[in-house]
């Protein structure tokens, strides 16, 4: 039984720079996502030089993954190290925004696990800081940028394989694995709610595949269906969006992955176009193939299956380093990054009003 998620996707990542050209550090190791984030950046050319967390156990674990990294004496040692170009974090979600402000103030770029924010105020402060400093506030929306079927889907759409995108449906089930979770995971104010958290992946995917700049929350709902022992957990959430270009989105996120599934979640994405559709079975093809990265394309030419594991790579991480080095926005625009977070937060807010 696999709990958690792909910490370290195995797909190839091409180098953005020579060794030593892009030193990075990690601050806040609360979620295991930090390993995948740093590993993918390392594969793309970054050097993971330093790490800090208030918990020595987490630092020891980090050292196992990155033996060459040194443990900093405190956060400031990293912030004040002018060699460090980017700080990555998977801190407690409610603390990521404030950390980002400190990182940008110190003239570094910032790369945070999702959810990047737990309140709209944090987002507003981040937008202001980006404007002031010109620095990059990147978010690791890994369910798209670190999944090869998801990357390939973007390429197919760009090639016109399904013509105009009309709708995206996302299913984002996750395994709860309650015993493996830290206390903050069950405290609403700290994790932000299910739509803010795992919902943000879904919003990002929608905006990306539909090539939309903005979207309206037309419906959202959260529930705690079956976990009375964790009163602040939302074990179910759903959102309907309509984008500025007319495309629609529905997604469901939940913590109901059954114990018998061979991976943490049977993530699916269905993209409906005017001339075809795409289905991704991102992490498993149930009852068939326990590996991930399956894509099905149906269009005027017929039905096609693509097994994509190890074949597409994760261009995002390479492009992110290049963006930091070249001050460009090719990996993901800042506007898109923040808009996905904003819509997730608005959907969360609307769902709570309805609850």
User: What is the spatial distance between Cα 225 and Cα 245, in angstroms, rounded to a whole number?
Assistant: 34
Strands (E), the chain: 23-27, 47-52, 70-71, 86-89, 109-113, 137-140, 165-173, 215-223, 236-243, 248-254, 268-273, 276-281, 294-299, 302-307
Find the binder of a second copy among 32, 276, 292, 315 (CB under 8 A).
276
Residue 165: closest CA among 326, 278, 330, 15: 278
| Helices and strands: H and E segment counts in the chain | 11, 14
User: What is the spatial distance between Cα 331 and Cα 175, in angstroms, rounded to a whole number?
Assistant: 29
Within residues 277-306, the interface with a second copy by CB under 8 A covers: 277, 279, 286-288, 296, 298-305
Question: In the complex with a second copy, which residue's Cβ is closer, 39 or 167?
Answer: 167
Min dist. Cβ of residue 200 to a second copy (A): 19
Sign (positive or negative) of CA dihedral 307, 310, 315, 317: positive
Min dist. Cβ of residue 267 to a second copy (A): 13
Angle at alpha carbon of residue 341, lines to 150 and 326, rounded to 5°: 70
Tell me if 211 contacts a second copy by CB under 8 A.
no
Question: In the complex with a second copy, which residue's Cβ is closer, 181 or 262?
Answer: 262
Question: In the complex with a second copy, which residue's Cβ is closer, 70 or 240?
Answer: 240
Tell me if 355 contacts a second copy by CB under 8 A.
no
Tell me if 164 contacts a second copy by CB under 8 A.
yes
Min dist. Cβ of residue 257 to a second copy (A): 8
Note the residues at the interface with a second copy (CB under 8 A). Answer: 162, 164, 166-167, 169, 171, 173, 218-219, 221, 223, 225-226, 236, 238, 240, 242, 246, 248, 250, 252, 254, 256, 258-262, 266, 270, 272-277, 279, 286-288, 296, 298-305
């Amino acid at each position: 039984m696999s709990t958690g998620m792909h910490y370290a996707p195995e797909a190839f990542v091409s180098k953005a720079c020579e060794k030593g050209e892009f030193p990075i550090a990690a601050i806040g190791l609360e979620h295991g996502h930090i390993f995948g984030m740093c590993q993918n950046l390392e594969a793309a050319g970054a050097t993971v030089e330093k790490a800090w967390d208030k918990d020595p156990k987490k630092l020891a674990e980090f050292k196992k993954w990155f033996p060459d990294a040194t443990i900093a004496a405190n956060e400031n040692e990293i912030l004040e190290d002018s060699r460090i170009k980017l700080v990555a974090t998977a801190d407690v979600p409610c603390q990521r925004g404030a950390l980002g402000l400190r990182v940008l103030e110190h003239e570094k770029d910032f790369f945070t696990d999702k959810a990047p924010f737990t309140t709209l105020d944090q987002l507003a402060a981040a937008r202001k800081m980006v404007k002031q400093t010109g620095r990059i506030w990147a978010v690791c929306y890994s369910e798209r940028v670190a999944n090869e079927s998801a990357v390939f889907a973007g390429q197919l759409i760009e090639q016109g394989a399904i013509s105009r995108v009309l709708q995206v449906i996302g299913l984002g089930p996750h395994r709860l694995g309650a015993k493996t979770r830290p206390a903050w995971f069950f405290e609403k104010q700290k994790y932000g709610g299910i739509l803010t958290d795992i919902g943000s992946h879904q919003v990002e995917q929608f905006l990306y595949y539909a090539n939309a700049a903005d979207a309206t929350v037309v419906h959202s709902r959260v529930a705690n269906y079956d976990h009375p022992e964790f009163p602040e957990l939302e074990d179910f959430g759903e959102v309907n969006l309509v984008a500025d270009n007319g495309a629609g989105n529905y997604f469901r996120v939940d913590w109901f992955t059954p114990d018998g599934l061979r991976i943490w979640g049977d993530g699916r994405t269905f993209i409906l176009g005017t001339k075809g559709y795409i289905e991704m079975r991102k992490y498993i093809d149930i009852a068939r193939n326990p590996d991930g990265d399956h894509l099905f394309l149906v269009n005027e030419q017929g039905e096609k299956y693509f097994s994509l594991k190890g074949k597409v790579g994760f261009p995002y991480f390479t492009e992110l380093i290049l963006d930091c080095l070249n001050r460009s926005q090719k990996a993901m625009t800042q506007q898109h990054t923040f808009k996905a977070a904003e819509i997730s937060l608005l959907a969360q807010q609307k769902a709570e009003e309805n609850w």
